[in-house]
Amino acid sequence: MLARFESEEIHTTKIEVDLNPIIQYCIHRLNEQTSDKGIIINFDDSSKADVFADPSLLEIIFENLLTNAVKYSNGGSQIDVFLDQSGEEVKCSIRDYGIGMKPEQIMRVFDRFYRSEEARSTEARGHGIGMAIVKRLADFQNIEVVYKSEISKGTTATLIFKQK
Ligand SMILES: Nc1ncnc2c1ncn2[C@@H]1O[C@H](COP(=O)(O)OP(=O)(O)O)[C@@H](O)[C@H]1O
Ligand SMILES: [Mg+2]
């Protein structure tokens, strides 16, 4: 999939879209993984945030971020998803209380094939491609992706939609 996004032009249809149903749908699709690990995803389903973007690309972005949050969480923990719309700026944060990352690992999150030592030593499988895709799709739509993380404490990934 990454190859497709790298070699081909991305064709998008930007429309005004509410992030809420997209997030709910992605959370719903993760039901099996979350119940297997006893993880609860907290999301205020009355929250709303309109952005100007391509809904199918947003779905890929949220699916990857939420899947990572679940994969790199400890069993029995929670994940908090926040939507925040203030004026023209929309922010969405996905916070987990999992394995976390060191500063030098955060710097490499978007590198293709990168997986931290801690990630590799979990049961979670992966190829280190998801975040490279997310970065490309986010750049393309003018969405900033910011990571805050502390090793063994958890990670917050924030999407900042810079223009409507
Ligand atoms: N929520 C998170 N908590 C801890 N580490 C993360 C998180 N999200 C991403 N990472 C780190 O970034 C790496 C790259 O992520 P990604 O491209 O999605 O690859 P994959 O999930 O296949 O390992 C992960 O292997 C992990 O080391
Ligand atoms: Mg991933």
- State if residue 114 touches ligand 1 by the CB under 6 angstroms criterion: yes
Predicted model pTM: 0.95
- Judged by its nearest atom, the ligand closest to the C-alpha of residue 95 is 1
**Would the CB of 99 count as within 6 Å of ligand 1?**
yes
- Helix 130-140 with 55-71: angle, nearest 10 deg: 150
Enclosing H/E stretch for 31? helix 31-37
Task: Give the model confidence (pLDDT) of 57-82 as tens digits.
Answer: 999 999 999 999 999 999 999 999 99
Residue 151 pLDDT level (bands cut at 50, 70, 90)? very high
List the domain boundaries for the chain: 2-161
Q: What is the pLDDT of residue 88?
A: 82
Ligand 1 geometric centre to CA of 87 (Å): 31
- Mean pLDDT on 115-130: 96
- How high is the mean pLDDT of the chain? 93
pLDDT of residue 11: 77
Q: What is the CATH number of domain 2-161?
A: 3.30.565.10
Q: Identify the pLDDT of residue 10.
A: 73
Residue 100, CB-side half-sphere exposure with 13 Å CA sphere: 10
Q: What angle do CA 155, 158, 160 make, to 5 degrees?
A: 170
Tens digit of pLDDT for each residue in 2-56? 666 665 677 788 999 999 999 999 999 999 999 999 999 999 989 999 999 999 9
Asked whether 73 lines ligand 1 (CB < 6 A), one says: no
Mean pLDDT of 95-109: 98
CA–centroid distance, 61 to ligand 2, in Å, is 10
Residue 164 has pLDDT above 60, yes or no: no
Question: What is the β-pairing status of strands 40-43 and 78-86?
Answer: parallel
- Residue 112 CA to ligand 1 center (angstroms) comes to 11
Task: Report pLDDT for 3.
Answer: 62
**Residue 87 C-alpha to ligand 2 middle, in angstroms?**
31
154 Cβ below 6 A of ligand 1: no
Atom of ligand 1 nearest to the CA of 108: 12
pLDDT value of residue 13: 86
